[in-house]
C-alpha cells in the first residue's frame, strides 16, 4: 500500500512536470513577447530590454524552466537591486495584466469554481442516478424509453444554449430572480444558493444525462450477474437485492467517472463561468487567454492538471476500498 502510494505520487509529479514543460515550450514558441506584454502599451525599446533582463527572458529556455519549477516550491526573487521582488512559495509568477501573484489570483477564484462544480455534481448525481436506476428497473417500458430519449436530447444541448434559455425564461420572462451574481457561501448561504442555481442547472444537465445512461447500463448489467440471482435465491427482498447486491457494484464505474469529472471541473468550468460571469478559475482562464497572460495560463493549466491527476489517484483508492478484489500494486 505504501509502495503503491509512493509510486503513484512519483508518477503524479512526473506527469505534472511533463505538462509544465509542454506548456512552457508552447509559450516560448508563441510570437508574442512577454516583456512587451508586461511593460504595457507606451513602452520604449530601452525599457523593454530592461524588463527582459529583469524577467530573465534572455536566459536559455531550460534555465528559465528550471527557475519556474524551482520557484513553485522554493519561491524566487525576480529582478535585482531596487527592482527586486520576492515571490514566496508557491510562486507561479505574476500576472502580466494586473501584476498580482498568480497563486493569489487562483486562490481568489477557486471558491467560485468549487461552488459551481460541487453544487452541480450534487444535482447531476441526484438526477442522473435516479433517472438511470428508474430506467434500468423499468427496462423496456415507456418510462425507460422516455428517460432515454430525454437524456439523448439533453446531452446534445450546448451549455450556452441552456444557459441563455434559462436566463431568458427565469430572469427575463418570469422574473423569478435578478440576474445571478456570485455571492460567497460564507457571506450569505441562501444568496449563494439562489445565485448559483442557474449555473448549477446549466452545468448539471449534460452530466445528468450522461450519468443517467451510464447508470442504467451499469445497473442492467449488474442485475444480470449470477450473484444477484444468488441474492434472490437466498430469499432476500427485492429492495435489498437491488439496493445492497446490485447497486453497489453498479455504482462503482459511476464513482470512477465522478472523480474524473469533478477533478476536471474544480479548476473551472470555462464556458459556464463565462456565461454567468462567475468569478471562477475558468473565467480567469478565459480572460487570461484573451490577453495572452502567460503566467496565469501556466498556473491554471498546472492547477487543473494537478486536480485531474490527484482525483485519478483518489478514484483508485476509493475503488480499492469498494471492491476487495482490487489490489493496489
Partner 1 sequence: MSLLEVRGLAVEFDTAEGPVRAVRGIDFTVERGRTLGIVGESGSGKSVTSLAVMGLHRGAAVTGSVRFDGTELIGAPEESVRRLRGRRIAMVFQDALTALHPYFTIGDQIAEAYREHHGGSRKAARARAVEVLGDVGIPDPARRAREHPHQFSGGMRQRAMIALALSCEPDLIIADEPTTALDVTVQAQVLDLLAGQQQARGLGLVLITHDLGVIARIADEVLVMYGGSAAEQAPADRLFTAPRHPYTRGLLDSLPRLDAPEGEPLRAIPGSPPSPLAPPPGCAFHPRCAVYAEHGSPLCTADRPLLRLVAEGHRNACALDEVTTG
DSSP string of 219-260?
A: HHHHHTSHHHHHHHHTT--HHHIIIIIIHHHHHHHHHHHHHH
Under the binding rule (CB under 8 A), the answer on residue 141 touching partner 1 is no
Grid coordinates of 128: 442522473
Mark residue 321 as left, alpha or beta (left: phi above 0; alpha: psi -120 to 50; beta: remaining): alpha
- Residue 237 is a binding residue for partner 1 (CB under 8 A): yes
Write 59-67 long-range contacts (CB < 8 A, 24+). Answer: 61/24, 61/25, 61/28, 64/24, 65/20, 65/21, 65/24
Taking CB under 8 A as the binding criterion, the range among 86-94, 145-153, 190-198, 316-324 that sits at the site for partner 1 is 316-324
229 binds partner 1 (CB under 8 A): yes
Q: Is 235 in the site for partner 1 (CB under 8 A)?
A: yes
- Residue 186 as a binder of partner 1 (CB under 8 A): the answer is no
Residue number with CB closer to partner 1 (73 or 227): 227
Q: What is the dihedral of CA 141, 203, 306, 67, to 10 degrees?
A: 150
Site membership for partner 1, residue 323 (CB under 8 A):
yes
Q: Which of 33, 86, 227, 287 binds partner 1 (CB under 8 A)?
A: 227
* Distance of closest approach, residue 271 Cβ to partner 1, in angstroms: 38
The DSSP secondary-structure symbol of 171 reads I
Interaction residues for partner 1, span 249-268 (CB under 8 A) = 249
By the 8 A CB rule, do 322 and 255 touch? yes
| C-alpha cell recorded at residue 156 | 446534445
Task: Tell me which stretch binds partner 1 (CB under 8 A): 49-57, 107-115, 212-220, 236-244.
Answer: 236-244
CB of 306 to partner 1, least distance (A): 31
Stretch that binds partner 1, among 81-89, 180-188, 240-248, 302-310 (CB under 8 A): 240-248
User: From the CB of 232, what's the least distance to partner 1, in Å?
Assistant: 6
For residues 60 and 226, which CB has a smaller minimum distance to partner 1 in the complex?
Answer: 226
> Contact at 8 Å (CB) between 320 and 326?
yes
Q: Using the rule CB under 8 A, is 41 a contact of partner 1?
A: no
DSSP classification of residue 59:
S
With vertex at residue 60, the alpha carbon angle to CA 22 and CA 106, rounded to the nearest 5 degrees, is 45
Cell representation of residue 316? 483508485
User: With contacts defined by CB under 8 A, how many residues of the chain interact with partner 1?
Assistant: 20
Task: Give the footprint of partner 1 on residues 207-226 (CB under 8 A).
Answer: 225-226
We find the least distance from the C-beta atom of residue 108 to partner 1, in angstroms, to be 43
CB closer to partner 1 out of 81 and 226: 226
Q: How far apart are CA 62 and CA 186, in angstroms?
A: 43
Phi, psi (degrees; rounded to nearest 5) at 78: -100, 140
Beta-carbon neighbour count of residue 328 at 10 Å? 15
Comparing CB distances to partner 1, the nearer of 186 and 226 is 226
Question: Does the protein bind partner 1 through residue 233 (CB under 8 A)?
Answer: yes
Q: Determine phi and psi for 94, rounding to 5 degrees.
A: -120, 145
Among 136, 205, 214, 231, binds partner 1 (CB under 8 A): 231
Rounded to the nearest whole angstrom, what is the least distance from the CB of residue 141 to partner 1 in the complex? 13
Query: Minimum distance from CB of 322 to partner 1 (Å)?
Result: 7
Residues 6+ apart with CB under 8 A from 242: 137, 223
List contacts with partner 1 (CB under 8 A).
Answer: 225-227, 229-237, 240, 245, 248-249, 322-325
Amino acid at each position: 500500500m505504501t509502495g503503491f502510494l509512493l509510486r503513484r505520487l512519483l508518477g503524479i509529479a512526473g506527469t505534472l512536470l511533463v505538462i509544465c514543460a509542454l506548456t512552457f515550450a508552447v509559450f516560448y514558441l508563441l510570437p508574442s513577447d512577454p516583456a512587451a506584454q508586461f511593460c504595457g502599451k507606451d513602452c520604449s525599446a530601452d525599457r523593454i530590454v530592461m524588463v527582459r533582463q529583469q524577467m530573465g527572458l534572455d536566459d536559455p529556455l531550460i534555465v528559465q524552466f528550471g527557475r519556474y519549477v524551482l520557484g513553485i516550491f522554493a519561491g524566487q526573487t525576480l529582478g535585482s537591486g531596487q527592482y527586486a521582488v520576492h515571490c514566496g512559495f508557491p510562486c507561479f509568477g505574476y500576472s502580466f495584466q494586473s501584476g498580482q501573484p498568480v497563486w493569489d489570483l487562483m486562490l481568489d477564484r477557486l471558491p467560485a469554481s468549487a461552488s459551481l462544480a460541487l453544487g452541480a455534481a450534487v444535482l447531476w448525481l441526484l438526477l442522473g442516478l435516479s433517472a438511470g436506476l428508474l430506467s434500468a428497473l423499468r427496462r423496456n417500458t415507456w418510462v425507460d424509453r422516455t428517460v432515454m430519449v430525454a437524456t439523448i436530447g439533453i446531452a446534445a444541448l450546448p451549455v450556452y444554449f441552456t444557459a441563455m434559455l434559462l436566463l431568458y425564461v427565469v430572469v427575463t420572462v418570469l422574473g423569478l430572480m435578478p440576474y445571478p451574481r456570485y455571492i460567497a457561501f460564507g457571506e450569505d448561504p441562501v444568496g449563494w444558493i439562489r445565485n448559483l442555481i442557474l449555473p448549477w442547472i446549466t452545468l448539471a444537465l449534460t452530466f445528468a444525462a450522461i450519468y443517467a445512461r451510464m447508470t442504467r447500463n451499469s445497473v442492467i448489467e449488474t442485475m444480470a450477474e449470477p450473484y444477484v440471482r444468488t441474492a434472490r435465491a437466498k430469499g432476500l427482498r427485492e429492495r435489498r437485492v437491488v439496493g445492497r447486491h446490485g447497486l453497489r457494484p453498479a455504482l462503482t464505474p459511476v464513482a470512477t467517472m465522478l472523480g474524473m469529472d469533478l477533478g476536471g471541473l474544480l479548476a473551472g468550468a470555462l464556458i459556464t463561468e463565462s456565461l454567468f460571469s462567475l468569478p471562477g478559475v475558468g473565467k480567469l482562464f478565459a480572460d487570461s487567454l484573451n490577453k495572452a497572460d502567460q503566467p496565469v495560463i501556466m498556473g491554471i493549466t498546472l492547477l487543473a492538471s494537478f486536480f485531474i491527476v490527484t482525483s485519478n489517484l483518489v478514484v483508485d483508492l476509493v475503488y480499492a476500498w469498494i471492491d476487495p478484489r482490487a489490489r493496489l500494486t
